[in-house]
Amino acid sequence: MPELSKEIIALLQYLLPGLLAAWVYYGLTSHIKPSQFERVIQALIFTFLVHAVLPVVRWPLEFIGTKFPVRSWDDASETLALALVAVLLGASLAYLTNKDSFHKWMRAVGFTARASHPSEWHGVLSERQSHVVLHLADERRLSGYPQVWSSEPDKGHFFIVEPGWLSETGEHQLLSEIEGLLINTKDVKWVEFINQPKE
């Protein structure tokens, strides 16, 4: 195995906070990891943000250190602070993405019509936690509450709790002895969202 040059090792150490932030972000969201080139670009952006935020974090830590001295600010302290900022940055961006907070505000002011969800499929299912009817490819209809679903319509499964079969006459046969059913998304033609009666 060829040895890595000092320059490559230094570059990897510099990019490590950005890679950590991206790792946390993709671990907490349903977004699919991009290509290797795009991940390097994202790591550069995250690294820039982490290093930009570090002085803002360093000032209060040094101020607290004057009152309650733990240790001096050195390379080890800076590395720990970089890791902490990277984790918090990745987690914060994941939270904003999962709640669609930033894009919701951007849509309200007219900057975009996009959402932060990885697909329309995932966005609709995550924002409408309601009773659904799955119309299956074999013409059967399954009702229930989706507890888990994939981020893409052509991969993964639905986990439907409180499942029941609907007959052609609209009769509902609740499967009370079953906790839930796992349905392949490829077997679903469309999803019907049922209005919940207002109390």
The residues, ordered by sequence, that sit 6+ positions from 119 with a Cβ below 8 Å of its Cβ are 151, 152, 153
Give the per-residue pLDDT at 130.
82
Give the per-residue pLDDT at 85.
94
Give the per-residue pLDDT at 11.
79
Give the per-residue pLDDT at 197.
54
Residue 63: how many other CB atoms lie within 10 Å: 9
Q: How far apart are CA 185 and CA 136, in angstroms?
A: 9
Q: Does domain 120-193 have CATH number 2.30.30.100?
A: yes
Mean pLDDT in residue range 73-90: 89
Sign of CA dihedral 154, 156, 162, 165: positive
Chain mean pLDDT for the chain: 85
Q: HSE on the CB side for 84, CA within 13 Å?
A: 12
Q: Is 137 a residue whose pLDDT tops 70?
A: yes
Q: How far apart are CA 71 and CA 25, in angstroms?
A: 30
Q: Is 49 a residue whose pLDDT tops 80?
A: yes
Q: Is 1 a residue whose pLDDT tops 60?
A: no
pLDDT band for position 35 (cuts 50, 70, 90): confident
Give the per-residue pLDDT at 120.
72
Helix axes of 75-99 and 6-28: crossing angle, nearest 10 degrees = 30
- CB distance 43 to 25 below 8 Å: no
Give the per-residue pLDDT at 2.
60
Q: How far apart are CA 122 and CA 145, in angstroms?
A: 15
> What confidence tens digit (pLDDT) does each residue in 147-180 have?
888 877 788 888 999 898 988 877 778 887 888 8
Domain residue spans of the chain: 6-108, 120-193
Element (H, E) at 130: none
